[in-house]
């Protein structure tokens, strides 16, 4: 799935792309089909087509990491070099490697734990970072708003 989204990355018009071959095993996963090797391979050419078809985005979000970290980093660096956008990664792992922190402007870490709630719950175990700074609280809305 590829979609332009407005709430995954605060104050950004984000092109979100699901990445298959998920390494996670979250109970209650919202996208269990992503554990398999499904969909079109995300190549530089595919990225170019996505940007051509989605004018106006200012962030590119990888929804997952897949199993090829080198390819993930190469694509993120390609995007940053060619397009005036920020890059983001949603990882289900509790921690990610330093090289991912160095490449992505935004990083979400942590598996979904139903009892703790999603990213927009103040009790969540998931964390959302911008250049290494924890900004998770931007997702927590006051009741009634």
The pLDDT tens digits for 41-83 are 899 999 999 999 999 999 999 998 888 999 999 999 999 999 9
Looking at residue 67, its pLDDT comes to 87
For the chain, how many structural domains are there in total?
Answer: 1
Looking at residue 42, its pLDDT comes to 94
Residue 127, in any domain of the structure: yes
Residue 112, in any domain of the structure: yes
Residue 145, in any domain of the structure: no
Looking at residue 120, its pLDDT comes to 93
Helical H runs in the chain?
Answer: 44-53, 69-82, 98-103
**108 CB-near residues (< 8 Å, 6+ apart):** 88, 89, 90, 91, 119, 126, 127, 128, 129
Residues in a beta bridge with 2: 17
Name the strand (E) or helix (H) holding 59. strand 59-63
Residue 144, in any domain of the structure: no
Residue 41, in any domain of the structure: yes
Instruction: Write down the pTM of the prediction.
Output: 0.91
Range of the domain at 10: 2-139
**Cα gap 72→61, rounded to integer Å:** 11
The pLDDT tens digits for 8-44 are 999 999 999 988 888 777 777 777 777 777 778 899 9
């Amino acid at each position: 799935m590829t979609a332009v989204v407005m709430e995954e990355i605060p104050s950004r018009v984000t092109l979100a792309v699901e990445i298959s071959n998920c390494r996670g095993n979250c109970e209650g996963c919202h996208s269990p089909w992503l554990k398999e090797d499904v969909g079109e391979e995300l190549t530089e050419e595919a990225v170019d087509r996505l940007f051509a078809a989605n004018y106006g985005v200012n962030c590119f979000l990888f929804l997952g990491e897949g199993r090829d970290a080198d390819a993930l980093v190469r694509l993120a660096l390609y995007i940053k070099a060619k397009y005036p956008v920020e890059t983001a990664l949603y990882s289900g792992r509790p921690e990610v490697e330093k090289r991912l922190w160095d490449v992505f402007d935004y990083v979400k870490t942590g598996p979904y734990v139903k009892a703790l709630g999603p990213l927009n719950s103040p009790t969540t175990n998931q964390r959302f970072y911008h250049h290494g700074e924890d900004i998770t609280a931007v997702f927590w809305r006051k009741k009634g708003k």
